[in-house]
């Protein structure tokens, strides 16, 4: 497969990371337990947050798998691992040492710890692993998961690239052409939901996080298969995007009713898990299908945002948490605080990007080419 830039995937990646930033701002206002909480919480805000939460991470992991296929189209296995190390491990280590520390400092101070300054706290940052201790990767957990997936799946990906007519790709392509064939892809995800989720709560700590690890690994792998299937994949989602959108709306409506219903009988959790996975699949197919129709075009704005999205992702939560610290106990209304944090987070991220992009060393620290 030739390396061909898909501008729709770039746009989706940029837009979903933008939604991720707004989601983290929203976490300040909902009763879900975050690093810092506003003095007034909003239950109605949990609805759009819950809706977005169904598909935002699946879309990002699928896109990451897709990007891996494009990356391997022009690199050897060694070059690919080297590139992944440079763009994932270095920003992760720098982020853990520098970027995340202010978030933990704010959290500990709000919890009642007494430090005269951040500089006094910083040596204590390395005392034990979060949450019992302080050292953490917080929102950067996405990076170690991607890196581990890239390492353990690289031999298999290279085999698929070398033998594009293999039996696995034949089966996957046949599923793409079948009316309900893609539902079979939901089965491993449903099994993961049913067998692992009850025993392994999501912790994003990589070690022992078996439900989240396997769940996102499957999505990453699916992304690679989708791009490996080439035209068959794009034609398939073009045909199915309207049905997928309707499926997403209907299943989310059912989930919302079940969420609010007090009637939960034995076995209901299995039904809910299956509906949830079908809901996620519907939204993912609709997003990629309509994205291919509407967004597959280049532009200067896309070029700029594509460079900015990674540094924005790395720095945004620190800006949000520190800014929230200064207003969490003020008497402002939630809309004003939300607007305040949005402007500061995106404005601060933009200023920060404009600074780091001008130096080769800082570009490496923040995963830029």
Per-residue model confidence (pLDDT) at position 5? 78
Helix H segments across the chain? Answer: 7-26, 46-72, 77-84, 90-94, 101-110, 118-121, 142-162, 167-177, 183-195, 210-228, 231-260, 268-294, 300-327, 334-356, 360-365
- Specify whether the backbone of 264 is left (phi greater than 0), alpha (psi in -120 to 50) or beta: beta
Among 365, 369, 368, residue whose Cα is nearest residue 96: 365
Per-residue model confidence (pLDDT) at position 262? 67
Could you tell me the end-to-end alpha-carbon distance of the chain, in angstroms, rounded to an integer?
Answer: 23
Per-residue model confidence (pLDDT) at position 3? 52
Is pTM beyond 0.85? Reply is yes
Per-residue model confidence (pLDDT) at position 97? 98
Per-residue model confidence (pLDDT) at position 259? 87
Per-residue model confidence (pLDDT) at position 303? 96
Residue indicated by tokens 């500089």: 119
Residues in the chain with pLDDT < 70? Answer: 1-3, 262-263
Report in angstroms the alpha-carbon separations of 343 from 37, 168, 308: 18, 47, 16
Per-residue model confidence (pLDDT) at position 265? 74
CB 1 within 8 A of CB 73: yes
| Per-domain residue ranges of the chain | 1-44+298-364
Report DSSP letters for 282-348, one per residue. HHHHHHHHHHHHHS----HHHHHHHHHHHHHHHHHHHHHHHHHHHHTTS---HHHHHHHHHHHHHHH
Q: How far apart are CA 17 and CA 19, in angstroms?
A: 5
């Amino acid at each position: 497969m030739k390396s061909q830039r898909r501008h729709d995937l770039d746009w989706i990646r940029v837009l979903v990371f933008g939604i991720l930033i707004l989601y983290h701002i929203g976490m300040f206002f909902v009763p879900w337990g975050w690093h810092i909480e506003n003095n007034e919480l909003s239950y109605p805000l949990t609805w759009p947050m819950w809706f977005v939460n169904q598909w935002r991470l699946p879309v990002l992991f699928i896109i990451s798998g897709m990007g891996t296929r494009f990356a391997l189209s022009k690199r050897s296995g060694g070059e690919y691992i080297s590139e992944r190390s440079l763009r994932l491990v270095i920003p992760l280590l720098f982020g853990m040492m520098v970027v995340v520390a202010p978030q933990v400092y704010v959290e500990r101070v709000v919890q009642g710890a007494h430090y005269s300054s951040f500089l006094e706290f910083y040596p204590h940052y390395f005392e034990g692993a979060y949450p019992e201790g302080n050292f953490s990767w917080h929102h950067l957990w996405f990076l170690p998961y991607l890196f581990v997936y890239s390492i353990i799946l690289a031999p298999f990906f290279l085999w698929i690239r070398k033998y594009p007519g293999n039996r696995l790709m034949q089966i996957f392509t046949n599923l793409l052409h079948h009316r309900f064939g893609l539902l079979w892809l939901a089965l491993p995800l449903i099994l993961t939901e049913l067998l692992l989720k009850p025993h392994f709560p999501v912790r994003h700590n990589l070690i022992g996080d078996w439900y989240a690890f396997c769940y996102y690994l499957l999505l990453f792998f699916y992304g690679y298969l989708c791009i490996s299937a080439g035209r068959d994949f794009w034609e398939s989602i073009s045909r199915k995007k309207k049905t997928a959108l309707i499926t997403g709306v209907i299943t989310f409506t059912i989930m919302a009713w079940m969420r609010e219903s007090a009637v939960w009988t034995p076995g209901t959790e299995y039904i809910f898990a299956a509906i949830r996975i079908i809901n996620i699949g519907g939204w993912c197919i609709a997003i990629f299908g309509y994205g291919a129709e509407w967004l597959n075009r280049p532009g200067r704005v896309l070029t700029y945002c594509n460079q900015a999205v990674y540094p924005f992702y790395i720095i945004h939560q620190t800006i949000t948490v520190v800014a929230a610290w200064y207003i969490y106990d003020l008497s402002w209304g939630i809309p004003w605080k939300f607007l305040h944090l949005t402007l500061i987070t995106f404005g601060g991220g933009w200023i920060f990007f404009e600074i780091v992009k001008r130096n080769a060393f800082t570009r490496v620290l923040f995963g830029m080419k």
